[in-house]
Structure 1
Amino acid sequence: MFSASTSWAQAALLLSLRLGPCLVLAPPFSQAPAPMRVRLCLVLALAGCLAGTAPLATTLEPGALIAAALTELLLGLLIAFGFLVASASLSFAGRALDVQAGYGLALVIDPGSRAQSPMFGTLFTLVAGMIFFAAQGHLELMRLFGALLKAIPVGQLSLSGDPTTLIRGFGLIMGLGVGATGAAMLTLFLIDVCIAYLSRALPQMNALMLGLQVKTISTLMVLALSAGLLGPVALRLMRAALDFVPSLGTP
């Protein structure tokens, strides 16, 4: 009985290192202003539940336990990496749109990180987090944890070692994030071209002030018209983040 309890405790500890980085550090979970104690208790509770379905066969020695803990932490960081890249892609696209449209000076406070963030980037990440939970992405994440537990037993991580897969996944997620604002960026580029031609034809025109006003209004109008694109893009980002670890070639 004591050996079985020790094996379950070790499995729960190792699984908490697999679940913790994603549920504590990665968006959209990190965007919720929940206390760190609550997040840690949630991670430990989920790890304890999963440890009951796939306990360790034997009790690990201290050296093997440390090695297994490092592999589980690496797997947890890889899972969190997909969600962090998805959030960073939306934040980067929003920041680029802020600079292009003239909103670069308007920084807001991100409620999750409590740091200054670009206005459109913060808006995109918050909306994507809402879509994630509305589309039951948290349940898909729990299914991913269950599937990974069967495919990769506790402490037995094995990756392909090919960096091209990591680079390909990173490029795909970043491309999807930029695609959320592609219509607005193209519109602003065409406006810049038109204003450049007008400034050559009418040198006395204040191109800076005219361009700032036109681009500000045009950005709001184009984003309102293309708001329906954010939902499909957020869903594809969610799917790409969930498929990131299986695409690395884990057996």
Structure 2
Amino acid sequence: MNSTVSAIALLTLRIGPLFAIAPPFSQINVPVRIRITLVLGLAAALAPVMPSNLPQTDGAFIASAACELILGLAIAFSLQIAFASLSFAGRALDVQAGFGLALVIDPGSRGRAPLLGTALTMGAGMIFFANNGHLEAVRLLASMANVLPVGQSSIAGSPEMLIGYTSLIMGIGLSAVAAAVVTLFLIDITIGFLSRALPQMNALMMGLQVKAIAALVMLALSAGLLGPVVLRLLRHAFDYTASLATQ
């Protein structure tokens, strides 16, 4: 097999998962042919300018292909965790505000998703593209291609790194809805005191209505927090992805 073709094939396995399964790219209904063309174009652009140590036998090529695919899945996984933190935060707010039974169809996965969680992840996707996150992702792939030549990929990391990254990302994601969560918690305490003072009051029905309105109002007032939170999530995601590269 030609060396350039081999390099492009291996790079496709590294780049492909990012544009196939990682948000926000997976949230966009782009035809499969366009995704494949984009991945092949990036691989063809990177292959001639990067160092390589291509395998010489079929067995070594299959092993290298498996390593490249694992690396590509690890890159996609870092972004998935970042967006999953916002989905988790939105789901927690859904339950607390009484929207737990309200599900919508995610346009990317075409599956059922939480109401506020979907709104947060879609907003994060718009912020991602508005701040040239897609270009940053391409630059990251190019720099990793120089650090990890195709054909000799390895992943530096440990369970401790993954646990630390996940806990950090989840904490940052929850900060996007922190104001609304604290407000709903205070409303719950107030309704609890009122239900003890006025037993005849229907605390459940009143609480659902008040909390639903309060959640929407607080989300509107704290909407400006989403941008900085998303940018922090993306920065940590890209930093974690870069830390996976080793010689």
Q: State the TM bucket, normalised to the shorter chain.
A: over 0.9
Aligned to 1:63, what secondary structure does the other structure show? helix
Q: Is the 8 A contact 1:165 1:247 kept in 2?
A: no
Q: Percent identity?
A: 59
Distance in 2 (CA, whole Å) between partners of 1:158 and 1:26 is: 20
Deviation of 1:56 after TM superposition, in Å, equals 3.6
TM-align CA RMSD: 1.4
Identify which of 98, 101, 109 aligns with 1:105: 101
Name the counterpart of 2:16. Answer: 20
Name the counterpart of 2:211. Answer: 215
AA at the equivalent of 1:65: F
Q: TM-score, normalised by structure 1?
A: 0.94
Distance in 2 (CA, whole Å) between partners of 1:220 and 1:247 is: 38
Deviation of 1:59 after TM superposition, in Å, equals 5.9
The question of 1:115 aligning with 2:111 is answered yes
AA at the equivalent of 2:116: F
Distance in 1 (CA, whole Å) between partners of 2:116 and 2:54 is: 51
The question of 1:199 aligning with 2:201 is answered no
In 2 relative to 1, CA 42–249 (structure 1 residues): closer, same or farther, beyond 3 Å? closer
Gaps of 5+ in 2: none
Deviation of 1:55 after TM superposition, in Å, equals 5.7
Name the counterpart of 1:158. Answer: 154
Gaps of 5+ in 1: none
Deviation of 1:57 after TM superposition, in Å, equals 5.1
The question of 1:78 aligning with 2:74 is answered yes
Deviation of 1:226 after TM superposition, in Å, equals 0.3
Name the counterpart of 1:239. Answer: 235
Q: TM-score, normalised by structure 2?
A: 0.96
Name the counterpart of 1:41. Answer: 37
The question of 1:132 aligning with 2:128 is answered yes
Distance in 1 (CA, whole Å) between partners of 2:184 and 2:109 is: 30
1:107-132 deviation per Cα after TM superposition (whole angstroms, max 9, x unaligned): 11110011111110100000000000
AA at the equivalent of 2:197: A
AA at the equivalent of 1:50: L
Name the counterpart of 2:168. Answer: 172
1:160-184 deviation per Cα after TM superposition (whole angstroms, max 9, x unaligned): 4521011111111111111111111
For structure 1, which segment, 149-158 or 180-189, has the greater mean C-alpha deviation from structure 2 after superposition? 149-158
Q: Is the 8 A contact 1:7 1:57 kept in 2?
A: no
Q: Is the 8 A contact 2:15 2:72 kept in 1?
A: yes
Name the counterpart of 2:26. Answer: 30
Distance in 2 (CA, whole Å) between partners of 1:39 and 1:72 is: 18
* Number of residue equivalences: 247
Distance in 1 (CA, whole Å) between partners of 2:162 and 2:94 is: 29
Name the counterpart of 2:140. Answer: 144
